[in-house]
Chain A
């Protein structure tokens, strides 16, 4: 018996819902068919020379930082280092577009973005050295902990941006993720929440071609990762991730849009992971050298240096200064990382809870006794 057939229910006739129609015109949300570029195009004439010189110095410093961190791994000073070599334009631009009060939500491959944001390089490497997990106070520097579980930092960025907006604070969150991370459920949920709440967030996907060994073709059948934005009702931007001028321009626009209350943007930066996933990975098992070599001509530093030199915005002195500054950073990093960190095993118990439970107090006493016995031997 249906409800209509029930005695006395003849009056029950729910009115039909209004006809469904699309809520948003998808056309303006669609990304460009090709990655947006500035360097090597007419748009390069518009760039701010001072900004470009700053970004150049940052790229050179970033490349040196990646090389130094990789070297430290070989020397056993870091447990592991997921290098962003080749992706420095994304890292540097992400940091450069942030205002003081904005927040950065990096993934584990984004130590460089955190350093470019101003974080002390040694603190940035705490996780990878392994003396603790997060080596800095996230609220002090407005950088969330480097996030190892894929895409899980994205909903955090949305929640933080949402909270800031509820408070009336002028804060935008920029969240970074890789191409592999876009397959995770948290990526979907974060973008959906951000769009529904119109949260001031910018999602930056660095499509570096690989999730460890798995190429993008096995990750998605979408026209581009930027196209995914349309499904959430936010704009998607496809950018050349090795073109720091394009990255800076597109991210700046997205940040301003978020700041104005226009909601989130998804930016896909097409780039390439020049190194293996980490020092523990063997990239020769899944890609050929020729592919890597082909990208060397499209290197972010080469692209910018070529453009700036041709336009007379950068001379030999400028190049030398950038390299010297990078060497100074590397020397300092080397010196400070070549000391053994001071560890206190009692720290294990210190911040599990606000107050130690009785059980943790027992375990702490036990470990202390073990250490004392060890010291006497």
Chain B
């Protein structure tokens, strides 16, 4: 099967600190893959490298055969990758609807001249974007908040909105950065269901970072474990759970 995302030898330094070292990954369409590891293992750095927030010191990232290294974030997102953030990064003063409409940014097919003269094309496109955004809000149970400022939403709803915004760019690959952070067990169950639903409904491949074993064990088909930037294990959830190096990273080494 043709791989969707192919990462080879990805390495990144922060000054003298090796944040990610020789990271390899291959994702094929329709998978849910997890990236786990203790705090500071370099998980978010991997996401930042994929989405062009940082430029890798070495390595290649190919998405559907296209090289992403060297592209700007905005170009990378337009190729069909979307992400959420570990700490929620919504446009807080904008309405929920505008947050989702911004996700559609690259999909609006009108130029600045159309906007200035409010051409027919502009009106059609704006209507299409608004309808699609409202549809997404409906699917995420956020319709009643459409005209509320994003910052006024309860925490759980803000997390949902961030996923909705990411999806509105019509991605093929969704990167979720600790989607379960700050959630209680009941909310986590809900989230797991939602991710499974997302994957089928939007035909997505999902790559997610998680801290809590419980989450990744539940939904991931494959897991990569990072520790101090090094990949220490790759495999199915069951293998990972008993992998000696993973246990060591999470629980510490036994004193002999």
Partners in one complex: no
Using a CB–CB distance below 8 Å, which chain A residues touch chain B? none
Using a CB–CB distance below 8 Å, which chain B residues touch chain A? none
